[in-house]
Amino acid sequence: MRSGAGLLIVGLAIGASGALAACGGSTATPLPSLPPDNPSAVPSAVVETLAPATEIPAASKAPSASTKPSGTAVYKVKKGDNMSGIAARYGITLKALMKLNPKIKDAAKIHIGQSIIVPKK
């Protein structure tokens, strides 16, 4: 490196330092203040409690008297039963039987022992 170039670099560095010092500026970012050493001055954490979960009744459980529409009865599915046959036995359409049992989403998926709502005979 030539001596003139070295002097130029040193001069620029000194000039930049002097300019920063003259305007009171600094390129350093100020650090955030730290919390006090006093633990009582630090805000406490908020803890939220949740209500206990409640059990959702399964479709296969017997409908309670409060959920069973008036003029209906509870029928327990037996071996060989299907929704169409049960509807015919009670003189209603499959659509009407499905409407009485909104928890049953698929008429082909009922099982032995399941309780369904049917019209009273």
Q: What is the pLDDT of residues 40-59, one digit of tens each?
A: 555 555 556 666 655 544 54
Q: pTM for the whole thing? A: 0.46
* Residue 11, domain member (yes or no): no
Give the helix/strand (H/E) hosting 8.
helix 3-23
How many independent structural domains does the chain possess? 1
Q: What spatial distance separates the first Cα and last Cα of the chain, rounded to whole Å?
A: 110
* Residue 83, domain member (yes or no): yes
β-bridge pairing 72-76 and 115-119: antiparallel
Its domain, for residue 112, covers 72-119
Q: What is the pLDDT of residues 72-117, one digit of tens each?
A: 999 999 999 999 999 999 999 999 999 999 999 999 999 999 999 9
**CATH value at residue 97:** 3.10.350.10
